[in-house]
Structure 1
Amino acid sequence: MSSKPDSNNVHSAQNLHGSIPNGAHTAVDVVLDTAYQGIDSNNWSDLFKLARKSELPEFIADMFAGKHINQSEDRPALHSALRNLSKSPVILDGQDVMPAVTDVWRRIEALCNKWVGVTDVIHIGIGGSDFGPRLAIEALAHVPDIESRGMRMHFLANIDTAELARILDRAQPNSTRVIIVSKSFTTLETTMNAKAVVAWLKDNNCTKGQIAKALFAVTANVPAAKEFGIADDHIFPFWDWVGGRYSVWSAVGLPIALQYGFKTFEEFLAGAHAMDLHFKNAPLENNLPVIMALALLYQQEKHGIKAYAAIPYADALDWFPKWLQQLDMESNGKSVGKDGKPVKYSSPVVFGSAGSNAQHSYFQLFHQGPEIIPIDFIAVRKPMSARPESLAHHRILLSNCLAQAQALAHGKTDSNPNNVYPGKRPSNLLLLPELNAFYLGALLALYENRAGTLGALWNINSFDQPGVEYGKVLAKPIEKALASGSDQVVANESVDAITAERINFLNSNS
């Protein structure tokens, strides 16, 4: 394995110059400024008392210790082990998981070193098997002078064949590799898309040997991958103690290493590991994930907020809000707590897109709508290109970010009610020194740890997702009815009267 960056000292040359703003906090050179949250020192004191009353320090310790904090599935949530570059032991039920994790790192690096002559990679996965690697590939493509191996990386998630067709029209079958990513290896969208891609390879005269060489899998269900026809040495495992939406740090992140080199993947892990060490060790009053979680909880208590927005003032992070939607709403979008009783609060609706594009879309609602919607403004201190106009453009980008936060906080009075801005709209400002693999990893781990913190404060299990399954169950009899072609479907225990009418309409017009 190549030399790894020190997760405690990496990028020390990027240390902040000058003092950070009053009331701001920093970790791993990431600055969090909560000055516009409208939370005074007494409020903060009460919030930290609440965190301790909620046994947040114990939750953090239990998570890193491998305790079974995912109670409904009787599992730990040890995604932090996947980026534990120190290799310090992580004990799960008496066994150190780090040798297995380290072996996957070794295999990823070996594959990077020998995978040559590949023009296209089709990464097949959905949800947590898609969002993380897709975000990282898109974000890091904007890093000036980043190593790129020249392969086209395609992400195939949707069962809609439009996405499949677009990819297959571009890919070159004889030099394509396929990575099938599914924790269970039973996800319908993923297995159907994988079979379609294999059929495409066959239709383009690829031999059985060529197809075997082309197929790879990342899964916790190794037997199912073998049954699909994937060779043992092409299967990269991850484990049931890793939630899908927390899995980009595992072999699910293989596209990052393949596209940008294993060293870049290590730097991505190192940034996350450094943020984990901060989350694990920093006192609550200086702990970035904890502070962000408590600020959101305060706005729920004070304003009854139902939504918040994440607005990255970096085009490279346009996919970040989509990744965050799954992280927050799948983790914490629940109405029942760990004790089986209704909860007072759970995840707000999450949305967002890159600023300043968002300003010209839905910021009107932020400024003058009746609902208060907190915002996380995310900005990068350095421009993301080496163009001669980059500094001038970046100043305008940053000035828009700062101006929007100020306008939302203070508002504006006017004799014309149409021109009144109520103000007192809360926001955070997150500042990254630059956007590279290290700071991208730190940013994602910051929000992952914030999601777990919020779950602990709300008494919610952030690591299961039972609500996702019911619709999948109902889809099976509906698909069978659609496949029948009959326009005489009647309501039954699996299909209600409205759905039966819709099936009949679709079948009669097919």
Structure 2
Amino acid sequence: MSLRPSQTTQNLPKTAIAAVDVVLDTAYQNISTAQWEDLFSFARKAKLPEFIADMFAGKHINQSEDRPALHSALRNLSKDPVLLDGKDVMPAVSEVWHRIEALCNKWVGVTDVIHIGIGGSDFGPRLAIEALAHVSGIESHGMRMHFLANIDTAELARILNRALPHSTRVIIVSKSFTTLETTMNAKAVAAWLKENGLTNSQISKALYAVTANVPAAKAFGVEKDHIFPFWDWVGGRYSVWSAVGLPIALQYGFKTFEEFLAGAHAMDVHFRNAPLEENLPVIMALALLHQQEKHHIKAYSAIPYADALDWFPKWLQQLDMESNGKSIGKDGKPVKHSSPVVFGSAGSNAQHSYFQLFHQGPEIIPIDFIAVRKPMSDRPEAVAHHRILLSNCLAQAQALAHGKSADNPNDVYPGKRPSNLLLLPELNAFYLGALLALYENRAATLGALWNINSFDQPGVEYGKVLAKPIEKALSSGESNIQASDSIDAVTAARINLLNQ
């Protein structure tokens, strides 16, 4: 594998490579030079370079829905033309940027923002708001940002108990504006505003929407000028770069939002142009594929040694498992590999939770260790604490790689547990954007290598269809529900139990 340090990152280990000043060290993957060569050869046979080119060119790589996957255009700060069926999408994207910036300058006296959305409409902005709150000296408008996703009214009640209705703004995010959880929560929040004395006109001025269904948003009561577009060539889990990311700009300023986009765009440029042997998303994807082939791994973990990134594994779960959790390939045939189970949480907390399984469990679970060079606070003890945090990160990777022998079987560590180290120079909006784009591009790469469409999610829909007759049966209050075509005997018995 040919590794070449970047111009701005010096003294890299021989097993490391850098892009956008993000360092990836694969030393503990236990992949030989010959094996790397085979992996890159496989990627070329799978036409990975052509796939990457097609994705950025706006080709309809989402074959099942006959759409492109152009989320990269949402962060294309170069404004170079991006053609969708011959038409440049960048003027429309730029117009949204201008509208977001204008809105940032308009809001005065807002104490609370309730962002209503679920899945991809929730994870990205929630992660960014949480992560950037830890950046020392960041500009902040000091609003309370509330994320309302769950249909469980416990989340709704907690938010409404804190928010001040007359100085609250509401952002409803749904591409279709028909997502059940989102529309029901939006109705509940609108009712709360009315209960607290706001007129219909005041409520309309408090509501904003990010959607592709403008008529539905207007029918709900959102003013036309408060509706931001959502295009069908953007998947929900890839949408934080659009107006879905409004909370980032509103809380931290449009300049910070631009820096977030800039980091992602820089990673896109690297992914699009770097040779496979020097391409961070490609190398990470091939390393995971190698572990699937060698160890038949069924799970992997992402452990950010940064409390600010505690939401990152949750965001990553949706990205990877909704994109690539499939058993049928683009050719309609069963696939050999698909997404492993993804889990993780912030280190070093995670060490005191499930690292026992990593070290001595029977299954091999690869790990992405994610670390940040600089401390995330200016506390007087920050340097000393951060040194301990980093030493734990490095020590766990070393222990997993080499293991330990002992006479007592309980004290034996098998070792040869693969891991990556991803090192960010610091955690700010730029490098957060670069990190998320790195994993988005890795997910797309894995889909191409596995021959999976990473941009649809048909499996999610079946349960939603079945929920409708079950909800109807629950609302009836009857405790003698019988099995039918849509409700099996087990579910009928459970409905009857609940309706007693």
Superposed, which structure 2 residues align to 1:84-103 within 5 Å? 84-103=76-95
- Of 475, 487, 498 in structure 1, the residue corresponding to residue 467 of structure 2 is 475
* Residue number in structure 2 paired with 1:53: 45
Match status 1:358 vs 2:350: yes
The match for 1:415 among 401, 407, 411 is 407
Secondary structure of the 1:216 match is strand
Deviation at 1:82, TM superposition (A): 0.1
Q: Any gaps of 5 or more consecutive residues in structure 1?
A: 1-11
CA distance in 2, matches of 1:15, 1:113: 35
Aligned to 1:249: 241
Task: Tell me whether 1:452 sits opposite 2:452 in the alignment.
Answer: no
Secondary structure at the aligned position of 2:420 is classed as strand
Measured in 2, the distance between the counterparts of 1:264 and 1:394 equals: 25
Q: What is the match of residue 112 of structure 2?
A: 120
Q: How does 1:15-164 map to 2 (within 5 A)?
A: 15-16=8-9, 18-164=10-156
Aligned equivalents of 1:282, 1:459: Cα separation in 2: 22
Task: Pick from 287, 303, 311 the counterpart of residue 311 of structure 1.
Answer: 303
- Deviation per CA, 1:114-146, whole angstroms, max 9, x where unpaired? 111100000000000000000000000000010
2:95 aligns to what SS in structure 1? helix
- Matched residue of 1:72: which SS? coil
The one of 162, 166, 175 aligned to 1:174: 166
1:174, 1:369 → 2: CA distance?
54
Separation of aligned partners in 2, 1:45 and 1:33: 17
Distance across 2 between alignment mates of 1:222 and 1:88: 28
1:129 counterpart letter in structure 2:
S
| Paired residue type of 1:312 | P
Q: Which residue of structure 2 lines up, in the alignment, with residue 294 of structure 1?
A: 286
Structure 1 residues 59-105: Cα deviation after superposition (integer angstroms, max 9, x where no partner): 00000000000000000000000000000000000100000000000
Q: Distance in 2 between matches of 1:108 and 1:274?
A: 21
SS at match of 1:402: helix
- The one of 194, 215, 222 equivalent to 1:230 is 222
The CA distance in 1 between the partners of 2:158 and 2:197, in whole Å, is 20
Structure 1: 4+ residue segments shifted above 3 A: none
Residues in 1 aligned to 2:359 and 2:162: alpha-carbon distance in whole angstroms: 43
2: CA distance between counterparts of 1:264 and 1:120?
Answer: 20
Tell me the secondary structure at the aligned position of residue 196 of structure 1: helix
Q: Could you say which residue in structure 2 is the equivalent of 1:502? A: 494
Shift of 1:229: 1.3
Quick one: which of 432, 439, 456 aligns to 1:440? 432
1:327 CA displacement: 0.1
RMSD over equivalenced CA pairs, Å? 0.8
For the residues of structure 2 that align with 1:284 and 1:214, how far apart are their CA atoms? Answer: 48
Q: 2:260 aligns with which of 233, 255, 268?
A: 268
For the residue of structure 2 that corresponds to 1:414, the secondary structure is: coil
Residue in structure 1 matched with residue 3 of structure 2 by the alignment:
none
Paired with 2:362 and 2:54, the residues of 1 have a C-alpha distance of 41
Q: How far apart in 2 are the matches of 1:144 and 1:21?
A: 30
Query: Which of 153, 161, 165 is residue 157 of structure 2 equivalent to?
Result: 165
Query: What corresponds to 2:197 in structure 1?
Result: 205
**What are the superposed Cα offsets for residues 228-259 of structure 1, whole Å, 9 maximum, x if unpaired?**
11111000002000000000000000000000
CA shift, 1:222, in A, is 1.3
Deviation at 1:288, TM superposition (A): 0.1
CA distance in 1, matches of 2:27, 2:215: 52
**Offset of residue 15 of structure 1:** 3.9
Residues 318-347 of structure 1 show CA distances to partners (whole Å, capped at 9, x for unaligned) of 000000000000000000000000000000
Tell me the TM-score normalized by structure 2: 0.98
The 5-angstrom pairing of residues 338-349 of structure 1 reads 338-349=330-341
Looking at structure 1, the residues matched to 460 and 382 of structure 2 have their Cα atoms a distance apart, in angstroms, of: 43
In 2, distance between residues paired with 1:253 and 1:111? 13
Take 1:413 and 1:467, find their aligned partners in 2: how far apart are those partners?
45
Residue of structure 2 equivalent to 1:183 = 175
Give, in whole Å, the separation in 1 of the partners of 2:204 and 2:466.
35
**Corresponding residue for residue 337 of structure 1:** 329
Structure 2: distance between partners of 1:82 and 1:213 = 27
Alignment correspondent of 2:378: 386
1:219 to 211, 223, 239: 211
* 3-state SS of paired residue (2:368): strand
TM-score normalized with structure 1 length: 0.97
Which letter maps to 1:121?
A: V
Deviation at 1:226?
1.2
Cα deviation code 1:167-207 (max 9, x no counterpart): 00000000000000001110000000000000000000001
Question: Within the alignment, does 1:320 sit opposite 2:312 as a pair?
Answer: yes
Runs of 5+ consecutive residues of structure 2 not aligned to the other structure: 1-5
Question: What one-letter code is carried by the residue in structure 2 that aligns with 1:237?
Answer: P
Equivalent AA in structure 1 for residue 11 of structure 2: S
* Cα distance in 2 for residues equivalent to 1:340 and 1:504: 40
